[in-house]
């Protein structure tokens, strides 16, 4: 497998060294480093890397300026490496400008703690630069016919998810007759700012999950990073419960959201799996299918990383697939079908 070619951009010499070491130890080829935005753009032009890791807070031209300058380029892809307590608003702006993922620094200080993010950063870099063209499975899985109206839409996503959610929620109608709940894999400290950003661009109300929040038509609830979002009944209402247990590789977990939705509403649930690496959501998708609910996946042609949708399709659960710009039509069809 060809190693991804990465440029490390950070104004701290120690951070550049630490990130370079963890990436190379993980099998990633670091083709260069840059100390600020101007240096980064020069290195990108000369080295043509597949991906850059980008610090946001730099003197002179900062990380957001770099992303704006790269807006018309098909590559490199960008992973932001930031501190949530300092850069949360800027990091969400970076995602809106085209960054595909976030990795949170354990500390704002240039210390050995930077090595703690090595495994996560390497995994995301390797997933973000496919070694082969992304294609649909050779044998399409027949889609299950829509038998009844979905009363609850559950969405799971990871790498590339903020961009996908921005595009999807911007075209869903304000009068969508079912609530939407979302799990996105993102570091702690970013979901409140992301919910505000998504709310600004959507006809629907988008809010970060809070204990006991009501899920109602016209509202989108984004799971809070660091806590699972589970659904329950409170009288005649569907409400959200926040819980850090069980321990899973991702918290919040798509599986936990899908499992609770399937248990609550059975055949009246629509599970939607968007771009992302790994297999979170597969267990929950099996539960939705077993309960008679419907599944919809983003097709490989529009995914940043065709991982989470792929495992659902290959599990032969009767999932329908569509590119991102068609998914809202499919969601509306499921919600309005009788």
Tens digits of residue pLDDT in 293-317: 999 999 999 999 999 999 999 999 9
Mean pLDDT, range 227-253, rounded to an integer:
96
Residue 229 pLDDT greater than 90, yes or no: yes
5-128 matches 152-336 in fold: yes
Non-local CB neighbours of 303 within 8 Å, separated by 6+ positions: 134, 160, 274, 275, 309, 324
What's the CA angle centered on 117, arms 115 and 119, to 5 degrees?
Answer: 100
Give CATH for domain 152-336.
Answer: 3.40.50.180
Residue 72 pLDDT greater than 90, yes or no: no
For the chain, the structural domain boundaries read 5-128, 152-336
Q: Which two tokens stand for residue 172?
A: 């869903």
| Predicted pLDDT of residue 215 | 98
pLDDT band at residue 115 using 50, 70 and 90 as cut-offs: confident
- pLDDT, tens digit, 9 for 90 and up, residues 213-222: 999 999 999 9
Residue 256 pLDDT greater than 50, yes or no: yes
Whether this prediction's pTM lies above 0.75 is answered by yes
CATH 3.40.50.720 fits 5-128, yes or no: no
Residue 134 pLDDT greater than 80, yes or no: no
Convert 73-106 to b/e letters by CB count within 10 Å (16 or more is b). Answer: eeebbbbbbbbbeebbebbbbbbbbebbbbbbbe
**CB-CB neighbours of 232 under 10 Å:** 13
**CB-CB neighbours of 2 under 10 Å:** 9
**Conformational region of residue 135, where left means phi above 0, alpha means psi within -120 to 50, and beta covers everything else:** beta
Strands (E), the chain: 5-9, 29-34, 51-54, 77-82, 101-104, 152-157, 180-184, 205-208, 214-215, 219-222, 228-234, 237-243, 269-273, 294-298, 320-322
In the chain, % of residues over pLDDT 70: 93
As annotated, the active-site residues are 158, 185, 280
The answer to whether the CB of 229 falls within 8 A of the CB of 195 is: no
Mean pLDDT, range 194-203, rounded to an integer:
97
Answer with the residue of higher pLDDT: 189 or 143: 189
| Predicted pLDDT of residue 71 | 87
CA distance 220 to 68: 29
| Predicted pLDDT of residue 132 | 42
Residue 4 pLDDT greater than 80, yes or no: yes
The answer to whether the CB of 238 falls within 8 A of the CB of 215 is: yes
- pLDDT, tens digit, 9 for 90 and up, residues 20-39: 999 999 999 999 999 999 99
Q: Which two tokens stand for residue 126?
A: 């390797």
Q: Which two tokens stand for residue 104?
A: 């949170």
Residue 139 pLDDT greater than 50, yes or no: no
Question: Which of 106-115, 182-191, 221-230 is the least confident region?
Answer: 106-115
Mean pLDDT, range 63-71, rounded to an integer:
94
pLDDT band at residue 133 using 50, 70 and 90 as cut-offs: very low
Which residue's entry shows tokens 């829509």?
146
CA distance 255 to 228: 9
49: Cα separation from own chain's centroid: 23
What's the CA angle centered on 72, arms 118 and 194, to 5 degrees?
Answer: 55
| Predicted pLDDT of residue 1 | 56
Residue 148 pLDDT greater than 80, yes or no: no
């Amino acid at each position: 497998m060809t190693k991804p070619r990465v440029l490390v951009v950070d104004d701290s010499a120690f951070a550049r060294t630490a990130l370079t070491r963890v990436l190379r130890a993980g099998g990633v080829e670091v083709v260069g480093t840059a100390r600020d935005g101007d240096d980064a753009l020069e290195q990108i032009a000369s080295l043509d890397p597949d991906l850059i890791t980008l610090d946001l807070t730099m003197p002179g031209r900062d990380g957001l300026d770099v992303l704006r300058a790269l807006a018309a380029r098909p590559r490199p892809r960008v992973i932001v490496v930031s501190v949530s307590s300092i850069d949360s608003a800027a990091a969400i702006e970076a995602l809106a400008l085209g960054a595909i993922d976030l990795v949170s620094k354990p500390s704002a200080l240039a210390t050995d703690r930077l090595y703690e993010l090595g495994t996560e950063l390497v995994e995301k870099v390797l997933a973000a630069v496919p070694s082969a063209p992304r294609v649909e499975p050779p044998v399409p899985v027949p889609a299950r016919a829509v038998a009844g109206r979905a009363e609850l839409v559950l969405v799971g996503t990871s790498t590339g998810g903020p961009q996908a959610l921005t595009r999807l929620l911007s075209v869903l109608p304000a009068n969508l007759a079912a609530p939407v709940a979302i799990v996105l894999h993102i570091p702690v400290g970013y979901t409140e700012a992301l919910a505000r950003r998504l709310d600004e661009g959507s006809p629907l109300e988008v809010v970060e999950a809070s204990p006991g929040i009501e899920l109602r038509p016209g509202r989108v609830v984004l799971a809070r990073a660091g806590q699972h979002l589970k659904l329950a009944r409170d009288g005649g209402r569907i409400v959200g419960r926040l819980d850090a247990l069980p321990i899973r590789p991702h918290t919040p977990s798509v599986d936990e959201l899908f499992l609770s939705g399937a248990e609550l509403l059975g055949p009246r649930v629509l599970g939607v799996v968007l771009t992302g690496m790994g297999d979170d959501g597969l267990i929950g998708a099996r539960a939705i299918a077993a309960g008679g609910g419907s599944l919809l996946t983003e097709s490989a042609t529009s995914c940043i990383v065709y991982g989470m949708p792929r495992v659902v399709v290959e599990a032969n659960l009767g999932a329908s697939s569509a590119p991102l710009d068609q998914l809202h039509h499919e969601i509306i069809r499921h919600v309005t079908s009788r």
